[in-house]
């Protein structure tokens, strides 16, 4: 049976069977192995799950050794589909210390809410 030697950050080199590893291959638009490709295994010694990036050479080696690969297409629009950055500041003038002091003084009055409504009309 094929043995695959991999490296655990805690235990060093460990021998695995092909079925102990999972390989995820991400392919770009040209069909090349792209960033995000990785292999994972549970270390037989310390039982930690180890994940490492896999380039084209490593992916080929693992598949030749009998590791089943899950193929994925790289999402070209992944960046575009993200929501707008939540911290992106809205437009308008920056809040100054004077604005804050004005707000503080306004909030000490009993009619602050009515006054605030009046300014938004
Ligand atoms: Zn280990």
Which tens digit of pLDDT belongs to each residue from 14-73? 999 999 999 999 998 888 999 889 999 999 999 999 999 999 999 999 999 999 999 988
Q: Kindly give the distance from the C-alpha atom of residue 31 to the centroid of ligand 1, in angstroms, as a whole number.
A: 33
Q: Which two tokens stand for residue 85?
A: 């950055």
Q: Which of 46, 48, 44, 54 is nearest to 19 (CA)?
A: 44
Beta-bridge mates of residue 38:
24, 53
Give the structural domain span for 34: 4-73
In a domain, 94, yes or no: no
Task: Report the domain count for the chain.
Answer: 1
Q: Kindly give the distance from the C-alpha atom of residue 18 to the centroid of ligand 1, in angstroms, as a whole number.
A: 17
More confident residue, 108 or 77: 108
In a domain, 42, yes or no: yes
In a domain, 63, yes or no: yes
In a domain, 20, yes or no: yes
Mean pLDDT, the chain, as a whole number?
Answer: 88
In a domain, 52, yes or no: yes
In a domain, 50, yes or no: yes
Q: Kindly give the distance from the C-alpha atom of residue 48 to the centroid of ligand 1, in angstroms, as a whole number.
A: 6
Q: Kindly give the distance from the C-alpha atom of residue 58 to the centroid of ligand 1, in angstroms, as a whole number.
A: 20
């Amino acid at each position: 049976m094929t043995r695959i030697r991999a490296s655990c950050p805690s235990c060093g080199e460990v021998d695995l069977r092909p079925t102990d590893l999972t390989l995820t291959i991400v392919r770009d638009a040209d069909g090349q192995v792209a960033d995000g490709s990785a292999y994972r295994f549970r270390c037989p010694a310390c039982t930690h799950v180890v994940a490492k990036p896999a380039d084209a050479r490593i992916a080929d080696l693992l598949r030749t050794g009998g590791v089943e690969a899950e193929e994925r297409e790289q999402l070209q629009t992944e960046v575009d589909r993200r929501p707008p950055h939540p911290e992106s500041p809205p437009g308008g003038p920056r809040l100054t210390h004077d604005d804050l002091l004005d707000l503080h003084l306004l909030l000490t009055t009993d009619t602050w809410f009515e006054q605030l409504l009046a300014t938004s009309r």
